Every structure is written in structure tokens, then in C-alpha cells.
């Protein structure tokens, strides 16, 4: 389910206007085809309080931002010339005769939810490896739902996309995950998400001043650990420990509010922001035994010793990406300290999931 990024997309066309992808329509007599672009995300604080085991006790909160790394999904009417009525390409290729035969859980349930009839072709590719802590599985779910709605000629809101993705992943598939990833992918931008008892979600877009969000991202360094792990493998333990971790989770929730307040100032203090990320990471490490390990801890300490102010592992933990706040004069030193890891530049993305190409719909 999570390994959805490694296949070649094929036939992908990106149409831009002033460097902003727009939906492009081809002549109506073309075969039906839709391509969606959906951003991944980085969360700064509050992760874990978007799980129902916490927000059904009291309100959770996560501060996160969409980034300029994407999952692309193509949905196309499959040609009758092929032997199979359903083909799905991701890290594997499935050629099946019925929707119930699809092994990819998210693809199967999205098709069932929206009552899509064969023949159908689905293909996906991403900018970042799967299971890397940037919300990839939920991003795929949101992007596929968006493409399928467009394939049916429907326009839907970001809130509907997020809730449908949550319904599939949490209610139908029973994944031990929260709601932050689906909402971040659907809405894009820089947001504080509140998770209320009963499951309602409030989206609060954050208005930063004087280009402070750009300044913040200009001082972020991200490094790929090379370790991939499904979020569910880490979150299952955290979910089971929620009762005894309530005090820690409350502090992590409150840190989301504190960081939001910090970001509302005319100028974001990198020292304060990095320090809060560092304290948040220390709390997160206490939530479960699989959040970190000796290798991750050694890399983290090396980055701090080289001049990083603070940082965290993105997502549930156990691998994926490091995110560090690093002043400009220390970037080379941190890069050298983590020379065995691949550095990946990221920037802020204001848009959520979008249809960037539509033909015959």
C-alpha cells in the first residue's frame, strides 16, 4: 500500500502558467484521462495527537506545512485492446479482471467508494521514496480520489477529499494512523489542524508576515536516512501506549500552539523554533521503542554538534527524513557531519491536491 512511488508514470504532461500548474483540458473526443498532483508534508509539532485514541479524549493539534515534493496519479480509461480490464502501476503492476482482485488496498477501496467501473488504468509516481515520513500513503489516497472524481466529471472540496481518504484508511482499512496527513495533502499550505472528539477537524491557515515562512524554509536542511518503514509499524505501538503517554501528548499538542504563536511574529526566531523542535523530538522519542534507534540518535547528535539548532525525524519515526533548523553559516558543517546521508532541498507549497491535466471529461 505504501510503496506507491517507484513506477514510471508514463504519459504524464504538466501544464504550467506563470510556473503554477493549472488544469488543462484536451478536446472532448479524446480518451478520458486525468492527472492529479498532490503535495507531501512536513509536520513541526503535535504529531500523535491526531490519533483517535487521543482526540477522542481531548482536542489534538498539529502544525504542518505542505512541501514542493509531490505524488502524481494518472487515471485513464483503459483501452479495450488490452486483455485485462484493470491495470494498476506502482512499485508493482497489477492486471486483474475485477476491482475486488486488486491487491493495492488504497486503490481498491477508492475505486469501490466512488463506484468506478472498468476498464480503468491507474499509475502513480512520486518525488520521494515511499515510507519516508512525509505522509506518502495518505497523499496517494487523496490524489487518487481527486483524480477519480475528476474522471467522473466532479469537482470536490479539499475537506471532502480529506474525509474520504480518512474514511478509507482508518475506517475501512483499519490503519492505526491519524488524520493530519490526509488534511495536509488535500489543503496544502501552512496550517494548524485541530482534531476534535468525535473526529471533526478544523483547518486554520497560518498567515505569516514579511516572508517569514520562506525564511523558515530557507533555513531547513533535510536528509534522507535511507531507512523506509510503514507508519503503521511505528504507530501501532504508540497507539497502544496512548493511555500512559497522555501527559506527554498534551505537551506535544501545546507545542503546536506555541510554534504557531512563534510563527505569527514579524520575524521567526530560528533559535526559538529549532529549540522547540528539539524538545518536541525528545518527547516523541519517549512514545515508543521504535521511534528512534542508536543510528538515528548518533546522526542527530552529530548534526547538533555541527551547528544545527534543533530538528526531528519526520513522520512517525524509525527512519525516513531528518528535518533540521540550521543557520546559514552552519549548513556546510552539518552537511559534512551527515555526509553519508543524502541532502534533499525542500520548499513551501501553498496548494493542496490539484488536477493538472484532464482529457475527455
Q: What is the pLDDT of residues 166-208, one digit of tens each?
A: 999 999 999 999 999 999 999 999 999 999 999 999 999 998 8
Mean pLDDT within 222-246: 77
- The per-residue pLDDT for 208 is 82
How far is it, in rounded angstroms, from Cα 99 to Cα 101?
5
Sorting pLDDT into bands at 50, 70 and 90, what band is 29? low
Look over the chain and give the mean of its residue pLDDT values, rounded to a whole number. 89
C-alpha cell of 86?
Answer: 484493470
For the segment 102-112, what is each residue's pLDDT rounded down to a tens digit? 999 999 999 99
Instruction: Dig out the grid coordinates for 5 from the structure.
Output: 512511488
Per-residue confidence at 274, pLDDT binned at 50, 70, 90?
Answer: very high
Distances (CA, A) of 92 to 8, 87, 123, 174: 10, 11, 10, 23
Task: Spell out the residues 6+ positions from residue 85 whose beta carbon is closer than 8 angstroms to its own.
Answer: 78, 96, 97, 118, 119, 120
CATH 3.30.70.890 residue ranges for the chain: 212-343
CATH of domain 16-206+349-359: 3.30.230.10
Enter the C-alpha cell of residue 149: 472524481
All CATH 3.30.230.10 domain ranges in the chain, comma separated:
16-206+349-359
Q: How confident is the model at residue 267 (pLDDT cuts 50, 70, 90)?
A: confident
Q: Which pLDDT tens digit goes with each residue over 113-141? A: 999 999 999 999 999 988 888 999 999 99
Which three three-digit cell numbers place residue 236? 501501532
Number of CB atoms found within 10 A of residue 93's CB? 10
The predicted-structure confidence for 297-353, as pLDDT tens digits, reads as follows: 999 999 999 999 999 999 877 788 999 999 999 999 999 999 999 999 999 999 999
C-alpha cell at 148: 477519480
Pairing of strands 354-359, 25-26: parallel
DSSP bridge partners of 124: 73
- Report the candidate in 185, 188, 182 with the shortest Cα–Cα distance to residue 201: 182
56 CB burial (10 A radius; 0-12, 13-18, 19+)? middle
The CATH code that applies to domain 212-343 is 3.30.70.890
Query: Given this model, what pLDDT does residue 317 score?
Result: 74
Pairing type for strands 321-325 and 201-205 reads unpaired
Cα–Cα distance measured from residue 145 to residue 150, given in angstroms and rounded to the nearest whole number: 9
Q: What is the pLDDT of residue 290?
A: 75
Determine which of 146-155, 227-236, 239-248 has the lowest per-residue pLDDT on average.
227-236
Q: Please tell me the pTM assigned to this model.
A: 0.89
End-to-end distance of the chain based on CA atoms, in angstroms?
28
Amino acid at each position: 500500500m505504501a510503496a506507491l512511488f517507484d513506477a514510471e508514470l508514463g504519459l504524464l504532461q504538466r501544464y504550467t502558467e506563470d510556473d503554477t500548474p493549472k488544469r488543462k483540458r484536451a478536446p472532448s473526443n479524446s480518451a478520458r484521462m486525468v492527472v492529479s498532483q498532490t503535495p507531501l508534508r512536513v509536520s513541526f509539532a503535535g504529531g500523535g495527537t491526531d490519533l483517535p485514541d487521543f482526540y477522542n479524549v481531548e482536542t489534538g493539534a498539529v502544525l504542518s506545512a505542505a512541501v514542493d515534493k509531490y505524488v502524481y496519479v494518472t487515471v485513464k480509461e483503459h483501452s479495450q485492446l488490452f486483455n485485462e480490464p484493470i491495470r494498476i502501476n506502482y512499485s508493482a503492476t497489477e492486471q486483474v479482471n475485477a476491482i475486488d482482485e486488486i491487491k493495492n488496498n488504497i486503490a481498491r477501496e477508492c475505486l469501490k467508494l466512488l463506484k468506478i467501473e472498468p476498464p480503468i488504468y491507474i499509475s502513480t509516481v512520486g518525488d520521494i521514496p515511499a515510507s519516508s515520513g512525509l505522509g506518502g500513503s495518505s497523499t496517494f489516497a487523496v490524489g487518487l480520489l481527486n483524480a477519480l472524481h475528476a474522471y467522473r466529471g466532479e469537482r470536490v472540496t479539499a475537506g471532502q477529499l480529506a474525509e474520504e481518504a480518512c474514511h478509507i484508511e482508518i475506517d475501512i482499512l483499519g490503519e492505526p494512523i491519524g488524520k493530519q496527513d490526509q488534511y495536509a495533502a488535500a489543503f496544502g499550505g501552512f496550517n494548524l489542524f485541530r482534531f476534535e472528539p468525535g473526529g471533526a477537524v478544523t483547518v486554520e491557515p497560518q498567515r505569516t508576515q514579511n516572508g517569514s515562512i520562506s525564511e523558515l524554509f530557507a533555513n531547513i536542511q533535510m536528509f534522507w536516512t535511507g531507512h523506509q518503514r510503514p507508519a503503521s509499524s511505528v504507530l501501532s505501538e504508540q497507539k497502544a501506549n496512548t493511555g500512559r503517554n497522555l501527559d506527554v501528548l498534551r505537551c506535544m499538542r501545546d507545542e503546536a500552539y506555541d510554534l504557531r504563536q512563534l510563527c505569527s511574529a514579524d520575524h521567526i526566531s530560528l533559535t526559538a523554533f529549532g529549540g522547540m523542535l528539539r524538545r518536541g523530538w525528545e518527547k516523541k522519542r519517549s512514545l515508543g521503542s521504535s521511534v528512534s534507534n542508536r543510528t538515528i540518535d548518533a546522526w542527530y547528535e552529530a548534526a547538533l554538534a555541527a551547528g544545527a539548532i534543533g530538528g526531528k525525524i519526520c513522520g512517525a519515526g524509525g527512519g525516513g527524513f531528518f528535518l533540521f533548523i540550521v543557520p546559514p553559516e552552519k549548513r556546510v558543517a552539518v552537511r559534512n557531519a551527515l555526509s553519508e546521508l543524502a541532502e534533499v532541498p525542500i520548499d513551501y507549497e501553498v496548494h493542496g491536491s490539484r488536477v493538472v491535466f484532464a482529457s475527455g471529461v
